[in-house]
């Protein structure tokens, strides 16, 4: 399970192998790898191989306070989540597999509320985490924008409001959204945010907890007030988004930067465009926001400059950038973004990652991420020139004070409902975390009865810890003061493997955290569960994983990926076959649970099975394709061939002449510029079979509104796509709806098939 380095992580086969390689063979990058990942590797090795030792775990922002939402239908969503969970040490109980089988760019507000937001908060409550989660973070392949028109037709027609909101913006404003209060579009809906700089008025930064309420004056309350939930997306893979490889690269870079601020410069770029003027001089402000922010940054020891143009030019180390221009060319700028940086641009459609004509002339936020920024933002709808919908110049000041990326963004945006924020919510390069040591216990110990755990923060080990928190298997257990110890009655826990986390909270406004993670085996009732893989710890995507689970005397067995149930069977021994395509690529952790009826504590758990799912082997090049090709695809309806150049619009299929109960086929050739895992995204009602280079990659029969995310490992060169199908007799699921077909393809952004990528005879 690999720690991110400067490139993409296609990780090593075992924990011990990677640990040895990282420490002994990659000494040149060891200083950039946070201790958090090394600790996980060491602890897992200790538990598996019976070795001794301890070390310190760091993580910025609080991995125990993050709820990660994953689309299990999407290999990309699973792959990004697998890596991110591993790198950030997200507890398995904090990962929620939310099935999403519809469009990946836009969703209606009622559907968002009922199928996304409500299930998330119900799951948080059901898992007993409602007082502990501060972040809801989405992996990729969820819709990035929400359509308000159906629920608020008159409001959405107002130019100052607009039709669309962002996924993370409405998640942040969840209280208003869930109770149907349109106040989420207010210019001052975010009471947690801080106002622009004013004369002789320094910017205040304040840490976030979801249980805090905020009144109209922006004052923090312990009871009452409006509550929020920090939220970002880890990545967007469709439309004008990024590839999985790019997403892993910028997320991995952000993790390595935690707590290690690299020397670099934050840039505020100014020109005559209204975009930079509006941010530099917000309406009603008499203070130059750029100069005030630069003064605060320099006072904090962070290099910062105001430069003219559209981008910083020839800058070797960009630690952050705030632009204001419709278009920019980062490659032409010849500047390098260092890991952990926030870079963003004030323009109308930077967050509209769809293929819509309105956004085509403006550079999307994904361009910053492509070049290594840990996070960026942009509006998903025309916001006019309201500064309240964009981050203030103080964004970089909050970040440089040690606040997490998500905290910094929401501290600086007064009206975030249209702002799409993509990146690592927990990134915290300027934070100073405490070190954590434990007395009384060692990783991999087998324990029973009452145990004592005494945490301490050594002298010279970072800031002073004000309070210690104990988490067991992702659930908060108790807290204590420095000098005190935790007492745990292990007889209240199931026999088997458990993960103990001790988190030290710093007693200051930044509220940084340090943590240590200890795997322990509990044995009070002599119940054991073993989990063995017949095929080893490293497999390729598409292989079948065969697992044997044994627990003598058990009544039933379960195989789980975190909180996600994969298989269940009766008895105390079972052999399970699991397609690796259902697990995603990258580091995967499985465990087994046995039930022994008639016992006070009926459960027993296995040690985790650590796997590495590698990309499938690249297919050989198809060939050069026939000559004399035309741009677009060839659609054949019945026996009538039609040349189609564009399939972006949802109704393109019906407009081309498709009718219910009709056979059809599609033929197209496409070029792959670089060997990689590419994705086909299919939404269809009816029968469908998809072939690439003569290989069947998907088949479905008599389905209504079926969605599939199909990874295909393609080599550089020309490839052939063939689709055959039959439309449903009642089209979209009802007699008055036309036939539906959407097919997208891509690497760095999955786009509708057609010209100029596809061609046909």
637: domain CATH number is 2.60.120.260
Same domain (yes/no): 517, 545: no
pLDDT for residue 609: 96
Angle, alpha carbons 501-502-506 (nearest 5°):
135
The mean per-residue pLDDT over the stretch 634-659 comes to 93
Same domain (yes/no): 508, 582: no
Residue 696 pLDDT greater than 90, yes or no: yes
> Which pLDDT band holds residue 735 (cuts at 50, 70, 90)?
low
Same domain (yes/no): 651, 568: no
Same domain (yes/no): 3, 96: no
> Which pLDDT band holds residue 101 (cuts at 50, 70, 90)?
confident
Q: Which of 524, 550, 580 is the last residue of a domain?
A: 524
Same domain (yes/no): 11, 38: yes
Same domain (yes/no): 131, 80: yes
Same domain (yes/no): 554, 517: no
Establish if 458 belongs to a structural domain.
yes
Give the dihedral of Cα atoms 415, 419, 422, 425; nearest 10 deg: 10
The mean per-residue pLDDT over the stretch 362-390 comes to 95
Q: Are 292 and 198 in contact (CB under 8 A)?
A: no
b/e string for 528-546 if b means 16 or more Cβ within 10 A?
bbebebeeeebbebebebe
Task: Give tens-digit pLDDT for 119-144.
Answer: 999 999 999 999 999 999 999 999 99
Dihedral over Cα of 280, 282, 287, 293: its sign? negative
Same domain (yes/no): 82, 13: no
Token pair, residue 99, equals 């099935």
Which residues touch 637 (CB under 8 Å, ≥6 apart)?
A: 656, 657, 658, 659, 662, 664
> Which pLDDT band holds residue 9 (cuts at 50, 70, 90)?
very low
Q: Which residue has the tokens 């650590």?
A: 610
Give the dihedral of Cα atoms 325, 328, 332, 334; nearest 10 deg: 70
pLDDT for residue 623: 67
Same domain (yes/no): 542, 484: no
Establish if 372 belongs to a structural domain.
yes
Same domain (yes/no): 5, 113: no
Residue 674 pLDDT greater than 50, yes or no: yes
Among the listed ranges 11-15, 274-278, 340-344, 728-732, which one has the minimum average pLDDT value? 11-15
- Count of C-beta atoms within a 10 Å radius of residue 187: 12
Of residues 338, 343, 296, the one with CA closest to residue 321: 343
Q: What is the C-alpha R_g of the chain?
A: 26
b/e string for 442-471 if b means 16 or more Cβ within 10 A?
ebbbebeeebebbbbbeeebbbebeebbbb
Mean pLDDT of the chain: 88
293: three-class secondary structure by DSSP: helix
Rounded Cα–Cα distance for residues 287 and 278 (Å) = 12
Establish if 92 belongs to a structural domain.
yes
Q: Which residue has the tokens 């705030």?
A: 322
Same domain (yes/no): 464, 518: yes
Task: Give tens-digit pLDDT for 544-595.
Answer: 999 999 999 999 999 999 999 999 999 999 999 999 999 999 999 999 999 9
CATH (domain of 586) = 2.60.40.10
Same domain (yes/no): 391, 466: no
Number of domains composing the chain: 5
Establish if 330 belongs to a structural domain.
no
Q: Which domain, by its residues, includes 509?
A: 444-524
**Three-state SS sequence of 166-216:** EHHHHHHCHHHHHCCCHHHHCCCCCCCCCCCCECCECCCCCCCCCCCEECC
Establish if 271 belongs to a structural domain.
no
Task: Give tens-digit pLDDT for 345-359.
Answer: 999 999 999 987 677
Beta bridge partners of 420: 378
Dihedral over Cα of 647, 652, 654, 658: its sign? negative
């Amino acid at each position: 399970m690999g720690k991110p380095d400067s490139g993409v992580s296609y990780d090593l086969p075992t924990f011990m192998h990677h640990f040895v390689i990282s420490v002994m063979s990659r000494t040149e990058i060891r200083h950039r790898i946070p201790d958090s990942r090394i600790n996980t590797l060491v602890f897992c090795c200790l538990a598996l191989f019976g070795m001794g030792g301890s070390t310190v775990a760091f993580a910025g922002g609080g991995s125990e306070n993050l709820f990660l939402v994953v689309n299990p239908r999407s290999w990309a969503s699973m792959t990004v989540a697998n890596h991110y969970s591993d790198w950030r040490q997200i507890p398995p109980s904090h990962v929620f597999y939310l099935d999403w089988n519809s469009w990946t760019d836009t969703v209606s507000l009622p559907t968002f509320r009922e199928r996304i937001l409500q299930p998330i908060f119900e799951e948080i409550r059901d898992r007993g985490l409602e007082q502990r989660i501060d972040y809801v973070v989405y992996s990729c392949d969820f819709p990035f924008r929400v359509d308000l028109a159906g629920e608020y037709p008159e409001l959405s027609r107002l130019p100052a409001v607009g039709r669309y909101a962002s996924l993370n913006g409405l998640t942040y404003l969840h209280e208003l959204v869930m109770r149907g209060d349109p106040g989420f579009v207010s210019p001052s809906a975010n009471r947690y945010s801080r106002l622009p700089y004013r004369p002789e008025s320094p910017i205040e930064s304040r840490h976030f907890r979801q249980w805090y309420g905020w009144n109209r004056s922006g004052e923090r309350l312990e009871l009452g007030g409006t509550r929020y939930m920090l939220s970002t997306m880890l990545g967007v893979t469709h439309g004008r988004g990024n590839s999985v490889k790019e997403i892993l690269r910028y997320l991995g870079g952000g993790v390595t930067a935690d707590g290690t601020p690299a020397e670099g410069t934050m840039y505020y770029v100014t020109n005559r465009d209204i975009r930079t003027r509006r941010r530099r001089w917000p309406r009603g402000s008499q203070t130059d926001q750029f100069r005030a922010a630069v003064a605060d940054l320099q006072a904090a020891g962070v290099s910062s400059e105001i430069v003219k143009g559209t981008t910083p030019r020839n800058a070797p180390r960009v630690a952050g950038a705030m632009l204001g221009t419709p278009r920019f060319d980062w490659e032409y700028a010849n500047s390098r973004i260092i890991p952990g940086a926030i870079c963003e641009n004030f323009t109308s459609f930077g967050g509209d990652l769809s293929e819509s004509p309105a956004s085509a002339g403006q550079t999307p936020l994904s361009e910053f991420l492509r070049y290594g920024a840990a996070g960026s933002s942009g509006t998903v709808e025309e916001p006019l020139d309201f500064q309240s919908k964009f981050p203030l110049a103080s964004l970089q000041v909050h970040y440089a004070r040690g606040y997490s990326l998500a905290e910094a963004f929401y501290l600086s945006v007064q009206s975030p409902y249209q702002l799409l924020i993509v990146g690592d919510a927990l990134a915290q390069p300027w934070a100073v975390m405490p070190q954590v040591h434990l007395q009384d216990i060692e990783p991999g110990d087998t324990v029973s009865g009452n145990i004592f755990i005494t945490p301490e923060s050594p002298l010279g080990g970072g800031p002073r810890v004000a309070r210690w928190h104990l988490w067991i298997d992702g659930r908060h257990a108790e807290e204590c003061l420095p000098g005190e110890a935790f007492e745990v009655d292990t007889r209240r826990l199931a026999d088997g493997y458990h993960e103990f986390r001790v988190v030290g909270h710093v007693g200051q406004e930044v509220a940084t955290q340090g943590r240590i993670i200890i795997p322990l085996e509990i044995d009070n009732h002599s119940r054991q569960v073993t989990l063995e893989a017949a095929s080893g710890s490293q497999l390729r995507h598409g292989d079948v994983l065969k697992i044997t689970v044994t627990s003598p005397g058990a009544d039933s067995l379960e195989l789980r990926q975190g909180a996600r149930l994969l298989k269940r069977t009766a008895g105390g021994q079972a052999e399970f076959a699991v397609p690796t395509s259902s697990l995603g690529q990258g580091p995967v952790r499985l465990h087994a649970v046995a039930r022994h009826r008639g016992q006070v504590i009926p459960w027993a758990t296995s040690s985790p099975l650590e796997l590495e799912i590698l990309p499938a082997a690249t297919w050989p090049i198809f060939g050069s394709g026939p000559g004399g090709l035309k741009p677009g695809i060839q659609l054949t309806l019945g026996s009538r061939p039609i040349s189609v150049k564009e399939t972006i619009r949802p109704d393109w299929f019906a407009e081309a002449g498709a009718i219910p109960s009709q056979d059809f086929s599609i033929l197209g050739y496409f070029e792959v510029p670089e060997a990689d895992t590419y994705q086909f995204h299919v939404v269809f009602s009816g029968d469908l079979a998809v072939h690439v280079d003569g290989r069947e990659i998907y088949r479905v029969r008599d389905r209504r509104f079926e969605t599939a995310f199909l990874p295909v490992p393609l080599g550089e060169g020309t490839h052939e796509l063939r689709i055959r199908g039959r439309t449903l007799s009642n089209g979209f699921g009802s007699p008055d709806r036309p036939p539906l077909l959407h097919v997208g393809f891509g690497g760095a952004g999955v786009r509708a098939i057609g010209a100029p990528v596809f061609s046909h005879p």
